[in-house]
Structure 1
Amino acid sequence: MSRADRLALASWHAVILHRDHPSVDALKRQLELLHIRVSVVWPQVDGADADCDVVFFDADMGHDGQFPWPRGFAPMPMIALIGSEAPGRVEWALAQGSNAHLLKPIGSTGAYSALLIAAHAYQVTRSQADDIRALEDRLRQRPIVVRAVLKLLQQERLDEAGAWKRLRKIAMDWGMTIEETAEAICRDDRRTRSGA
């Protein structure tokens, strides 16, 4: 991670979703040393705290319904605070969308590396989800692209390769994606004859 990529933690707000506990005090001290504003809440994250930058949550006593977003779709990095390594508790923490974890009891270190790992994992996951959505959108638009190619085949008496080449040229001329161009061609073939 370069200096330019480092997190501006001094502007962050962290929520610790945990009942009173010495580990919470230790974690709060670590975060405050990083100049992070900290709110400790229990038994749930309310709307006022839902716009924070990171959530540390108790994996041992946590339960469904503690977050105002759907399970596994947190809008920020999530860090599980784990004291019990019981498989069910770890699975529950993962299902909430945990991007990193800290083992309890929490001492005087660990929060910074957990923040960096969680923020990185969250960004990677979010980027992958965006890529998947874009690919799914393109896949949904494939039938209209095929219809546009067929229309170009018929109207301009081209072979398949020629129709694809023509579609790409029209898209470049119009400054649109292939999918947007295909929609326009299927919607209004007069534009194809006059504009391209």
Structure 2
Amino acid sequence: MTRRLQIPDLGGATAVILHRPHPTVAALTRQLNAIGLQVECCWPELPVSARQADYLFLDVDTAHDDQFPWEIGRAPMPAIALVGSEAPGRIEWLMNFGADAQILKPVGTGGVYSALLIARATFDARAEMADSIESLRRRLGQRQTVVRAVTMLAARGKSEDAAYNQLRAMAMAWRVSFEEAAERIVADAAPHTQEPENGR
């Protein structure tokens, strides 16, 4: 079942605008203040405190990697691109940066509210997907560890089914999960499976 998106309450949220002094900044600030956001304007660099902001607006026409205190593509908040130039180099930079929404310049009297909502939904969906991928990687790693543990137990002359049942019994005896028991067995065996140093 698809999760229904809900419009977040933006009152009291904070936004940082990374843009040189310009009428665009004034127009954007007016809209953000009207929606209820607190605004901080920065140029030419973001302060480290910007990590705590709820939203980031950035000028794609002049932005560059060194302005951000994080790895490009890993902004810790929803980012909204202010796009004026459609030069291929600028669009390529924008795609690598990974903005969650965009507003075409010049900024008028509308468009900011919908950009905030779209940016938040896109950012949250991407974060949820990243968590799901990491969870799948962990589960895959745990399954591989279980296979290794069962193989080790079976190497002692047991059948695969018997080794599997032994692993389950060990997990119950240790009062840990099946996967944790497998990790313990593999970890305990690791020192014995390392090759001797210097031929000893």
State the TM bucket, normalised to the shorter chain.
0.7 to 0.9
Q: Secondary structure at the match of 1:8?
A: coil
Q: Distance in 2 between matches of 1:155 and 1:2?
A: 53
Q: Distance in 2 between matches of 1:125 and 1:66?
A: 23
CA distance 1:181–1:51, shift in 2 (3 Å): same
**Deviations for 1:106-164, whole angstroms, at most 9, x for unmatched residues?**
1111111111111111111112222222333344444422221124435693444x655
Q: Distance in 2 between matches of 1:74 and 1:109?
A: 25
Deviation at 1:33, TM superposition (A): 0.9
CA distance 1:35–1:183, shift in 2 (3 Å): same
Deviation at 1:172, TM superposition (A): 7.5
For structure 1, the residue ranges without an aligned partner over 5 or more in a row are: 190-196
Q: Residues 1-196 of structure 1: matches in 2 within 5 Å?
A: 5-153=6-154, 157-160=158-161, 163-164=163-164, 167=167, 174=175, 176=177, 178-187=178-187
Which is worse superposed, 167-176 or 66-75?
167-176
TM-score normalised by L of structure 2: 0.80
- Quick one: which amino acid aligns to residue 130 of structure 1? D
Query: For residue 193 of structure 1, what is the aligned residue in structure 2?
Result: none
Q: Distance in 2 between matches of 1:87 and 1:170?
A: 60
**Deviations for 1:71-104, whole angstroms, at most 9, x for unmatched residues?**
1111111110001112211121121221110000
Runs of at least 4 residues off by over 3 Å: 137-143, 151-160, 162-175, 185-189
Q: Secondary structure at the match of 1:38?
A: strand
TM-score normalised by L of structure 1: 0.81
Q: Distance in 2 between matches of 1:187 and 1:60?
A: 53
Q: Distance in 1 between matches of 2:11 and 2:24?
A: 22
Q: How much is the aligned-residue C-alpha RMSD, in angstroms?
A: 2.7
Aligned length: 186
Which is worse superposed, 77-86 or 132-141?
132-141
Q: What percent of counterpart residues are identical?
A: 45
- Quick one: which amino acid aligns to residue 31 of structure 1? L
Which is worse superposed, 23-32 or 72-81?
23-32
CA distance 1:25–1:137, shift in 2 (3 Å): same
For structure 2, the residue ranges without an aligned partner over 5 or more in a row are: 190-200
